[in-house]
Amino acid sequence: MRQTSTVRPGPESAQRIEEPGAPIAFRNVSHNFIHGKRAVLVLEEFDLEIGASEFVSIVGPSGCGKTTALSMAGGLERPRHGRVLLDGRPCDGTSDDVAFMFARDALLPWRRVRRNVELGMEVRRVPAAERRRRADEWLRRVRLEEFADSDVLHLSQGMRQRVAIARTLVQSPRVVLMDEPFAALDAQTRANQQQEFARLWEAERPTVVFVTHDLEEAILLSDRVVLMAARPGRIVADLRIDLPRPRTQEMRTQSPDFAGYLETLSGRLREEVAAAEERRQAEGERA
């Protein structure tokens, strides 16, 4: 087993700009969390560059550090060592250019649909008329214009998720960070949301970092799928997905390339899960 170690903060917090190019760059990132008296190494030598308008998925065993990495890109967590850069600047706080979307849609039940879509714009003090115009435009794009004045509690799960998509994209973020955004949906709704999101993404092309446990979802949506290993979390495979766009659900069953990508990724993931299990057992025996 690798030794867990405490990693001290480096000089990376300085506000200098370096090598702008990739909108998001992780450079030699290591990170630990303190559990009781122990420092547990979560990420080690984590290096990843994501280009403008790229759609990159991160997959890997539970607990390998996917959410931690995403939080760093969003400026919610600072790496103890190494750098996480947004346009060449350290991500040390939230940015107007970056939007988040999570598994739970986090809609506010006391606000009507349109007011939920307007929320982020309100925080940024966009004037009311402009907010309304943009919210209505996005409700049209997610085909919910008739529900602008509805109570969110009356919507189906899929409709709620479309409101959440509208609320995320209405601010024209350059970067969208998504943590298992469709995990709470049933299979059919999930497939619909994947298509819906892919369609909207293709029109706007923000840079997307998408965390998922679903390999097929990752392949279907992404330009690249990055596979992480656990303890400490690091990248062990980076696969370019060369399927034509627009992607369709039929590709899952009809594209030999899709099948090839799935076989490669699921094989590697199985190896990583087995290796993690072996390490856990070895640690248990030693304890």
Ligand X SMILES: Nc1ncnc2c1ncn2[C@@H]1O[C@H](COP(=O)(O)OP(=O)(O)OP(=O)(O)O)[C@@H](O)[C@H]1O
CB proximity list for 201: less than 8 A, separation 6 or greater: 55, 208, 221
Q: Closest Cα partner for 56 from 186, 178, 202, 190?
A: 178
With CB under 5 to 8 Å by kind, the binding choice for 64 among Mg ion, ligand X, none is: ligand X
Alpha-carbon distance 66 to 86, whole Å? Answer: 18
Residue 33 binding ligand X, by CB under 6 A: yes
Q: How many residues bind Mg ion (CB under 5 A)?
A: 1
Alpha-carbon distance 134 to 128, whole Å? Answer: 10
DSSP letter string over 223-249?
SEEEEEETTTBEEEEEEE----SS--T
Residue 41 binding ligand X, by CB under 6 A: no
Residue 200 binding ligand X, by CB under 6 A: no
With CB under 5 to 8 Å by kind, the binding choice for 15 among Mg ion, ligand X, none is: none
- Tell me how far, at minimum, the Cβ of 44 lies from ligand X, in Å: 12
Near ligand X by CB under 6 A: residue from 21, 63, 246, 260: 63
- Tell me how far, at minimum, the Cβ of 186 lies from ligand X, in Å: 20
Alpha-carbon distance 287 to 283, whole Å? Answer: 6
DSSP 151: B
Residue 66 binding ligand X, by CB under 6 A: yes
Residue 67 binding Mg ion, by CB under 5 A: yes
Near ligand X by CB under 6 A: residue from 53, 67, 189, 264: 67
Q: Is the peptide bond before 232 cis (omega within 30 degrees of 0)?
A: yes
DSSP 77: S
Nearer to ligand X, 56 or 139 (CB): 56
Residue 68 binding ligand X, by CB under 6 A: yes
With CB under 5 to 8 Å by kind, the binding choice for 82 among Mg ion, ligand X, none is: none
Which residues in this chain contact ligand X in the complex, by CB under 6 A? 33, 42, 62-68
- What residues make contact with Mg ion under the rule CB under 5 A? 67
